[in-house]
Structure 1
Amino acid sequence: MNTYNPHIPAKCTVTGTSAVEAESRAESLVRLLQFGDSMFPIGGFSFSSGLESAVQKGVVTNATTLHEFTRTAVEQAARGDGIALIAAHRAATASDVGELMRIDEMVYVRKLSEETRAMSVRMGKKFTEMGVHVLGAPLLRTWQDCIRKTLSPGCYPVALAINFAVQNLPERHAFAAHQYGAAAPILGAALRLMKVSHVDTQKILYDLSGQIEASYERAATARLSDMSGYAPLTEILAAVHTKAHVRLFMN
């Protein structure tokens, strides 16, 4: 039986290369860029993470308020899904499918609105499917079976964690990809929803990316029970969006 400590970073040995060695390889960087790309075909571009309602209701009106909104989303992701992602990466490294299912359920029940649940599950299922086709790793196939048999919801952060773990990509890289993925789609949506420039959005993304390392250090030592994402206005905006008559984005 596989055992692991979720509070201690695991050393991946899937391909005989340690996580430290993998972190310095150019190939690992390329894989991070590929699977961490905000345009990776899993449907993330079709969601605005509540920004559409925020613009419609006047909560986000310019580059300054967009920066604040995106920062809130990124911080919420780090304190919630980010903690689960790290735990799932360690469980995947230990091939502990039962623990992956437990983590996946904990992520799902913390999604308060219908659309945030739908977003996480749809992206997670698609990410798993793409991983099976591109990588063909046995653990990814097992996880896809769990989703198909409705044994587990299949949330996005868990799928991302498994994908990176089977490639021997460090949990730090998985966390970075996750946080980048929390910000980039919002900023991409902003270009279609409001008067903001590419320069504005790139400046915001650059600033928020500088906080990833500190966020990782906090999440890496947190317990699953520490998962939280208190941002009531964001949840309200998501609920408003569900009832909206005119929508450009699914969420």
Structure 2
Amino acid sequence: MVLSPVRQLLVSLQLADSAFPSGFYTMSHSLEGFSQAKLVSRRDIQDVLSDLLVHSVGPGDATALALAHRAAERGNWALVQDVDKRLFASKLNAEMRKASVRSGHQVTQIALEAIGGDQLERYSQMITARTTPGCQPIASAVANAAAGVATEHAVASDLFAFSTSFVGAALRLRLTDHRHAQVVLNAVGPVIERAAADAVARDIDDLGGCVPLSDIMSAQHERAEARLFAT
């Protein structure tokens, strides 16, 4: 499937849109854990998001997306599978692994129906056969590759989708308001740009982030008596 540059942009925007039913709305990306521990306030939202982009999502999800995107473009499905499994294994907390897979399966199903193409069909078959976990970044990579979206654009779009989801969680947790949320999204633009460039440049041996405090908050969140979010 060959789309015009404008159509490619539209597909990338559609996949990153907060209205796309990817399941991101069920995730706080450890923010609810921080909130429950009273370790975060309005003034901390931008810093926490930036840290996650640079040290967690960038080296982990975004790097996996870049690797899988290029592999899908070349039809190297063994590498797509390898990246998918490594990303799944790199997520230390059970709820993070479950959420990524649940979202990835949903993205694959919807993208297959909305976008179509042999690449999405092949990846969907791999998930059904349980030969690959089906993590969200890999599903996004295959969907963007199927539409002809460039690797750098696909990575940046997915990082922005994560950021939108994060500030959306902050809104629902009443840690910020709509105006401040937009200020934060604009302010992390350079961070997203840097994280995307670094992700595209990494190889598979460098896949994986390191965010101990976020992992601890997620682990505590798994056992919380009351939870608004799945993660």
Shared fold (TM-score, shorter chain, > 0.5): yes
Identify which of 66, 73, 96 aligns with 2:45.
Answer: 66
4+ runs deviating over 6 angstroms? none
Alignment of structure 1 residues 112-191 onto 2, 5 Å: 112-191=92-171
Asked if 2 retains the 8 angstrom alpha-carbon contact of 1:184 and 1:205, the reply is yes
Question: What does residue 232 of structure 1 align with?
Answer: 212
Cα distance in 2 between the residues matched to 1:205 and 1:172: 19
Contact 1:55 1:194 in 2 (8 A): no
Match of 1:107 among 71, 76, 87: 87
Question: Once the 2 structures are TM-superposed, how far is the Cα of residue 71 of structure 1 from its aligned partner?
Answer: 1.2
Q: Distance in 2 between matches of 1:149 and 1:195?
A: 42
| Sequence identity percentage | 30
Give, in angstroms, the shift of residue 102 of structure 1. Answer: 0.7
Instruction: Deviation per CA, 1:201-229: give whole Å up to 9, x if none.
Output: 11111111222222222222211111231
Secondary structure of the 2:39 match is coil
1:47/1:167 CA distance change after superposition, 3 Å: same
Q: Give the secondary structure class of the aligned counterpart of 1:133.
A: helix
* Matching residue's letter, 1:29: L
In the TM superposition, what is the alpha-carbon distance from 1:244 to its structure 2 partner?
A: 0.5
**What 5-or-longer segments of structure 1 have no aligned partner?**
1-13
TM-score, normalised to structure 1, is 0.88
Amino acid at match of 1:229: G
Within the alignment, does 1:32 sit opposite 2:12 as a pair?
yes
Q: TM-score, normalization: structure 2?
A: 0.95
Higher helix share goes to which structure?
2
2:227 aligned partner, one-letter code: R
**Count of aligned positions:** 230
Change (3 A) 1:195 1:234: closer
Q: 1:195 offset after TM fit, Å?
A: 4.0
1:214 corresponds to which residue? 194
Q: Which one-letter code corresponds to 2:23 in the other structure?
A: G
How far residue 121 of structure 1 moved from its aligned partner, in angstroms, is: 0.4
Q: Secondary structure at the match of 2:176?
A: coil
Structure 2 residue identity aligned to 1:61 = S
SS across alignment from 1:211 = helix
User: Is the contact between residue 49 and residue 186 of structure 1 (CA under 8 Å) also seen in structure 2?
Assistant: yes
